[in-house]
Amino acid sequence: MSDMAQATKRLRLARGGLLDLRNLGAAALLCLLLALPFVVGGFLLYTLTLCFANALGALSVSLLVRYSGEVSIGHSFFVALGAYAVAIMEKQFGLSLLLSLPVAVLLGIAGGIIFAYPSRRLSGIYLAVSTMALALALPEILVHSEKVTGGFEGLYVTLVPLPSVAKELQRYYIALAILVVACLALAQLRGSRQGLALLMARAHPSAAEAFGITRGWARVSVFAISAALASVGGAVMAFASSTVSPNSFTLWSSIFLLVGSVVSLNRLTLPAGIIGGAFLTLVPNYLASAGDWVPILYGAALVAVTLCVNCASDIRLLLARRERP
């Protein structure tokens, strides 16, 4: 049994808790972000707040890729669910973000399940194309249900949860807090019964069934979580930008979310989310003068990242082979 005791000890060391280097990196980044408003202000703070919202969107696509191996080019639909939930709750009932956020989560879950159940047997390109249908249909739905959604004009989000604190600051901190909580929840999911089951269903669906994990359950669960996360991203986006309109939820926004996910290497950590979100937020901002070039530059960045990642894994393999003759 000493073998087992030793292994248990190693396990504890490997999990290293707070001393883990990666955790330290994330903690350092968090401290930096927490301190930032004392140093900078105005436009940069606003941009970072949008970045947190986009980070949630990128993470939602990454989650789908990680846990089901599928790709969505329609996630702007779920983002819009959250964004409009916040705007409509404010317009109809006068509720601010913290009260409308649970509604956004529930809507996201429901939306994810309603989409995933009928499409549970699709995969790969077929599923991707069916998600595209969501993205294509969405702007039309929003424009035509003008009474609720405000049509082309969209809706404004002006309420803030804490009336006494500066709007800009609470937008920043609330968005950051939601992003951090989401990342912690995702870390918890990875080690949970469901997380392990989903990863097994992704790797070997028939083996997973032999342990009681059905494909349908796996697909619907992943979509529900991913859509809920996207919806939270949308809610934060509406709150951060104080307006929602159909323009922000086109097929292109879905594709950009996918790009953000790829740029962050489909990882589900705070730094990766920030990288994906920053890419989605900053690149169009700084390239605003580039006009038509934006999609091309996006494409180039996507190709570059994909190639670099492949190279990196090749190099890692090569090194591993050298070490183990």
Q: According to the binding rule CB under 8 A, does residue 194 interact with another protein?
A: yes
CA 20-194-66 angle, 5° bins: 65
Bridge-based pairing state of the strands 155-156 and 243-244: antiparallel
Q: According to the binding rule CB under 8 A, does residue 171 interact with another protein?
A: no
Identified binder of another protein from the candidate list 17, 38, 163, 206, rule CB under 8 A: 206
Q: According to the binding rule CB under 8 A, does residue 210 interact with another protein?
A: yes
CA gap 283, 16 in Å, rounded: 36
**Judged by CB, which is closer to another protein: 45, or 200?**
200
CA gap 37, 15 in Å, rounded: 33
Q: Which of 3, 7, 26 is nearest to 15 (CA)?
A: 7
- Residue the block writes with tokens 């408003």: 37
Binders in 82-101 for another protein, by CB under 8 A:
none
**Judged by CB, which is closer to another protein: 100, or 266?**
266
Identified binder of another protein from the candidate list 44, 204, 285, 290, rule CB under 8 A: 204
- The minimum distance between CB 45 and another protein, in angstroms, equals 29
**Judged by CB, which is closer to another protein: 125, or 210?**
210
**Judged by CB, which is closer to another protein: 41, or 69?**
69
CA gap 117, 139 in Å, rounded: 23
Q: Which of 93, 59, 52 is nearest to 78 (CA)?
A: 59
Tell me which residues touch another protein (CB under 8 A): 1, 3-4, 6-8, 10-11, 14, 66, 185, 188-189, 191-197, 199-200, 202-204, 206-214
